[in-house]
């Protein structure tokens, strides 16, 4: 079955700080996004890889694609929120906007953050298989911290029982028609404030979403120290 991947890389990395968005930061001399693309390109059954970047970074992304020989990548213009970026990425298949590329509409689409470079075939095939069976699937991890809610006065309102909840990570996979339809039905509020793709698929397409246990290496580069962690993993892999 045809499988494609959409990698949102259109953010500005505010929590990490610095002038360069984290996906373009050099780690052992190579931009972070290039490791993520390479991880996808190592998997023969992923046909097309859509990398969604903000308009001002299209040229940077083009030069990365050129420099590292990322042959399966198509670059797409992102939006002001992650959901809008992902939706733009999906539109490429649905609307076949790019006449210069023969992009085949996939049966299953993987969505994976460009800033999670250590994704492996095992979890990707698990979420793809589960998406075929259930419509949608995503990697999860145990919570690191307990989730609590504060009341209006800034004091503790209630806390959740940590063992009963999971952190939603990436990759996720969807039947293409389901996730595309879900995004089409999204309100502006969903697109601007939503954080969870699986939730959109559930809300608008009444699919099931299978949760698949992932590994710790799926963590997202968010803060400066995460870049150092990524660097040390890459060094270990090289030696
Ligand atoms: N993303 C995107 N388009 C946006 C915002 C985010 O494609 N408008 C992407 C990011 O580039 C990243 C992924 O979504 O690969 C996960 O988002 P996050 O970790 O929040 O990245 P940023 O939004 O860049 O970082 P921050 O929230 O700290 O500003
Ligand atoms: Mg963000």
**pLDDT above 70: percentage of residues in the chain:** 97
Interface pTM, i.e. ipTM: 0.99
Residue nearest to atom 13 of ligand 1 (CA): 113
Angle between helices 82-95 and 176-185 (to 10 degrees): 120
Mean pLDDT (whole number) for 116-128: 98
Ligand 1 neighbourhood includes 85 CB (under 6 angstroms): yes
Ligand 1 neighbourhood includes 208 CB (under 6 angstroms): no
| pLDDT tens, residue by residue, 32-46 | 999 999 999 999 999
Give the model's pLDDT for residue 102.
Answer: 67
Length of the chain, in residues: 239
> pTM of the full predicted structure?
0.96
**Secondary-structure breakdown of the chain: helix, strand, coil percentages, each rounded to the nearest 5:** 40, 25, 35
Ligand 1 neighbourhood includes 15 CB (under 6 angstroms): yes
Mean pLDDT (whole number) for 25-37: 97
Residue 202: phi and psi, rounded to 5, are -70, -45
Domains of the chain, start order: 3-238 (3.90.550.10)
Residue 2: phi and psi, rounded to 5, are -70, 130
Quick check: 99 pLDDT over 70? no
Burial class (CB in 10 A: 0-12, 13-18, 19+), 143: middle
Give the model's pLDDT for residue 203.
Answer: 86
d(CA 226, ligand 2 centre) in Å = 15
Give the model's pLDDT for residue 62.
Answer: 98
- For residues 104 and 219, is the Cβ–Cβ distance under 8 A? no
Average pLDDT of the chain? 95
Residue nearest to atom 2 of ligand 1 (CA): 10
Quick check: 238 pLDDT over 90? no
Mean pLDDT (whole number) for 183-212: 91
Instruction: Give every strand in the sheet of 46-53, ordered side by side.
Output: 73-77, 46-53, 3-8, 108-111, 166-175, 135-142, 208-213
Q: Which of 46, 61, 68, 60 is nearest to 171 (CA)?
A: 46
- Residues lying with their CB under 5 A of ligand 2, a single-atom ion: 11
Ligand 1 neighbourhood includes 117 CB (under 6 angstroms): no
- Dist. CA 60–CA 54, nearest whole Å: 10
116 CA closest ligand 1 atom index: 15
Mean pLDDT (whole number) for 100-113: 87
Pairing assessment for the beta strands 208-213 and 135-142 based on DSSP bridges: parallel
Ligand 1 neighbourhood includes 234 CB (under 6 angstroms): no
Strand partners, 212: 139
Q: Which of 169, 172, 234, 168 is nearest to 25 (CA)?
A: 234
| pLDDT tens, residue by residue, 54-75 | 999 999 999 999 999 999 999 9
Mean pLDDT (whole number) for 2-6: 97
Q: Which of 40, 191, 38, 46 is nearest to 109 (CA)?
A: 46
d(CA 186, ligand 1 centre) in Å = 19
**Residue 239: pLDDT band with limits 50, 70, 90:** confident
Tokens of 22: 């984290």
- 3-state per-residue secondary structure call for 19-68: CCCHHHCEECCEEHHHHHHHHHHCCCCEEEEEEEECHHHHHHHHHHHHHH
Give the model's pLDDT for residue 1.
Answer: 80
């Amino acid at each position: 079955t045809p499988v494609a991947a959409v990698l949102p890389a259109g953010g500005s990395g505010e929590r990490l700080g610095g002038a360069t968005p984290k996906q373009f930061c050099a780690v052992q001399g190579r931009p972070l996004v290039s490791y993520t693309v390479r991880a996808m390109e190592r998997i023969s059954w992923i046909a097309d890889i859509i990398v969604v970047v903000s308009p001002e970074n299209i040229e940077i992304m083009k030069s990365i694609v050129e420099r590292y020989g990322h042959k399966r990548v198509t670059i797409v213009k992102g939006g002001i929120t992650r959901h809008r970026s992902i939706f733009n990425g999906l539109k490429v298949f649905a609307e076949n906007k790019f006449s210069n590329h023969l992009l085949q509409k996939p049966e299953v689409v993987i969505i994976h953050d460009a800033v999670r470079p250590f994704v492996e075939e095992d979890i990707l095939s698990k979420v793809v298989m589960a998406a075929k069976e259930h419509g949608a699937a995503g990697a999860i991890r145990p919570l690191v911290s307990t989730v609590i809610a504060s009341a209006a006065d800034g004091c503790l309102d209630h806390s959740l029982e940590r063992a009963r909840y999971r952190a939603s990570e990436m990759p996720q996979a969807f039947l293409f028609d389901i996730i595309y339809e879900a995004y089409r039905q999204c309100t502006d509020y969903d697109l601007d404030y939503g954080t969870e793709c699986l939730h959109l698929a559930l809300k608008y397409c009444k699919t099931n979403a299978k949760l698949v246990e992932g590994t710790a290496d799926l963590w997202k580069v968010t803060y400066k120290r995460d870049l150092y962690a990524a660097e040390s993993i890459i060094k270990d892999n090289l030696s």
